[in-house]
């Protein structure tokens, strides 16, 4: 751990946690925050509630001053004015870091909220305590097993993986994690920065750039205050890790909503996009693209893909047409197959099938040997950089996945119309072989186009 990250490290890897505003009332944020900690954390936990002797089975403390320990992380779940008062007390007691979940600061767009946020910033500067938030959903550190959000049970449902997400919106972070649970996407750390009174994007990006278990840094950005520092952090991180960026707030209405949501000015979208491309990161346009490309980068080990062509094997001709349209609309291109590949494909497929690219194998796709032969031809074709296999999933067709016996030497994508539990199961089964699994042909096409655009 680098000395400059000491306070942040203690926040993400605490040995002791105090929950201020801890409650026995399930309708309170302090109830959910404490429950999340108790379900996931094995260190010392101190509930703080001046009106209770016990909270969720633990002895409660009247104030942070009664704990008598220099706590690593304080989670603040009380109204804004009280949160400032408690944060000052915690800082004076030597707390290393604070996670302020409370709302009612700069995002409220009034003088009171602005004043309270300035007071919180002053505490961080005067005492050196690190503050995440305010107005934050919290964070999850799956490497450490800690759920410091107000959504109990969430960390236990997530798969551990190589993606770490930094986001401004708690709602967007939560949406991404729920989808990750449904599809089996592996996450490492998820940090919702909220209003960024102290810990901001640049520092968090640098922290993750040196984090040995993070393979991909995914960013959801509404607005930034430190443009040059943000750019430098992203540019430096992209030399060590894959970085994928989603910027929201491009419309006037969205820009206004961003200000009232996390107190951020969204800024000029095109200027931001140009800067990110110059910094060498992948720039995406939706939550789905952010998740899907991050998942690809966390799974693949490849090079030489940028600008390459895509080969598609499909069991349904109409799906091949749809795939081709989406691929082209996102800037991707179908590969022109070599004469050797075309001859090999025509040798194993009957005349009624479409034997160019996309390759429509129809029901010959049930023949494992046929699929394996075509797949190997595509692996050996220098014109092909990315291989996609897409079809509507049926139990008997899962046998075809036996063609992926060894780790794929080219990015290989399965676009399957299948139930979420099937997608989860196949991701677990095939990730180790470098094969990506997505629900449906359209998402497979978008990822293929993005890999062709940004490389891997």
pLDDT digits (tens, 9 = 90+) for 190-230: 999 999 999 999 999 999 999 999 999 999 999 898 899 99
- Give yes or no for residue 366 having a pLDDT over 50: yes
N residues, the chain:
456
Residue 263 is predicted with a pLDDT of: 46
Cα separation, 282 vs 301, in Å, equals 17
Its pTM stands at 0.93
In this structure, what token pair is assigned to residue 270?
A: 């095109």
Whose CA is closest to 185, among 428, 446, 407? 428
Region of 269 (left: φ > 0; alpha: ψ -120 to 50; beta: rest) is alpha
Residues 232-259: b if buried by 16+ CB within 10 A, e if exposed? ebbbebbeebbbbbbbbbeeeeebeebb
Out of 45-49, 310-314, 367-371, 410-414, which region has the weakest mean confidence (pLDDT)?
A: 367-371
Could you tell me the domains of the chain?
1-135 (3.40.50.720), 158-299 (3.40.50.261), 301-454 (3.40.50.261)
Element (H, E) at 156: helix 154-157
- Read off the pLDDT of each residue in 400-423 and give the average, rounded to a whole number: 87
User: Residues 164-187: pLDDT tens digits?
Assistant: 999 999 999 999 999 999 999 999
Considering the chain, what percentage of its residues have pLDDT values greater than 90? 77
- The per-residue DSSP string of 281-328 comes to -EEESSHHHHHHHHHHHHH----S-TT-EEEEEES-HHHHHHHHHHHH
Tens digit of each residue's pLDDT (9 = 90 or more) over 115-142: 999 999 999 999 999 999 999 999 999 9
Token pair for 326: 């989406």
275-328 pLDDT tens trace: 999 999 999 999 999 999 999 999 998 766 777 899 999 988 889 999 999 999
pLDDT score recorded for residue 399: 65
Q: What is the pLDDT of residues 71-81, one digit of tens each?
A: 999 999 999 99
**Which range, of 142-151, 212-221, 381-390, 406-415, averages the lowest pLDDT?**
406-415
Ordered strands of the 384-392 beta sheet: 354-355, 359-360, 309-314, 384-392, 412-417, 435-439
Q: Is the pLDDT score of 155 beyond 90?
A: no
Can you say how many angstroms the Cα of residue 409 is from the centroid of all Cα atoms in its chain?
25
């Amino acid at each position: 751990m680098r000395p400059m990250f000491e306070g942040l490290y203690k926040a993400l890897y605490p040995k002791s946690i105090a929950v201020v505003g801890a409650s026995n009332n399930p309708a309170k944020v302090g109830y959910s925050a404490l429950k999340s900690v108790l379900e996931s954390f094995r260190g010392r936990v101190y509930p703080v509630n001046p009106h209770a002797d016990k909270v969720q089975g633990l002895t409660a403390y009247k104030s942070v001053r009664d704990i008598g320990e220099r706590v690593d992380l304080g989670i603040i779940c009380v109204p804004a004015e009280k949160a400032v008062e408690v944060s000052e007390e915690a800082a004076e007691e030597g707390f290393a870091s604070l996670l302020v979940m409370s709302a009612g600061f700069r995002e409220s767009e009034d003088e009171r909220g602005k004043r309270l946020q300035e007071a919180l910033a002053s505490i961080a500067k005067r005492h050196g305590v690190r503050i995440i938030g305010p107005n934050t959903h919290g964070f999850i550190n799956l490497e450490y097993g800690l759920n410091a959000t107000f959504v109990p049970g969430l960390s236990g449902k997530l798969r551990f993986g190589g993606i770490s997400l930094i986001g401004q919106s708690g709602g967007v972070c939560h949406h991404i994690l729920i989808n990750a649970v449904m599809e089996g996407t592996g996450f490492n750390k998820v940090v919702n920065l909220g209003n960024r009174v102290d810990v901001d994007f640049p520092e968090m990006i640098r922290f993750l750039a040196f984090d040995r278990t993070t393979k991909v840094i995914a960013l959801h950005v509404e607005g930034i205050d430190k443009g040059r520092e943000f750019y430098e952090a992203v540019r430096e991180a992209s030399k060590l890790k894959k970085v994928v960026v989603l910027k929201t707030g491009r419309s006037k209405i969205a820009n206004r909503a961003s200000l009232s949501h996390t107190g951020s000015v969204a800024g000029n979208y095109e200027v931001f996009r140009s800067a990110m491309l110059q910094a060498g990161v992948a720039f995406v346009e939706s939550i789905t693209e952010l998740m899907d490309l991050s998942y690809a980068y966390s799974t693949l080990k490849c090079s030489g893909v940028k600008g390459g062509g895509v080969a598609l094997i499909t069991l349904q001709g109409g799906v091949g047409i749809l795939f081709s349209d989406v691929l082209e609309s996102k800037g991707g291109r179908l590969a022109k197959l070599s004469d050797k590949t075309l001859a090999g494909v025509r040798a194993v497929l009957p005349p009624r099938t479409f034997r160019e690219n996309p390759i429509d194998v129809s029901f010959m796709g049930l023949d494992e040997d046929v699929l394996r032969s075509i797949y190997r031809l595509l692996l050996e074709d220098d014109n092909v950089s990315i291989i996609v296999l897409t079809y509507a999933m049926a139990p008997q067709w899962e046998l075809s996945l036996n063609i992926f016996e060894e780790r794929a030497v080219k990015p290989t994508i399965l676009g399957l119309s299948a139930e979420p539990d099937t997608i989860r199961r196949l991701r677990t089964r095939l990730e180790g072989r470098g094969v990506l699994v997505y629900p449906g042909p359209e998402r497979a096409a978008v990822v293929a186009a993005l890999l062709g655009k940004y490389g891997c």
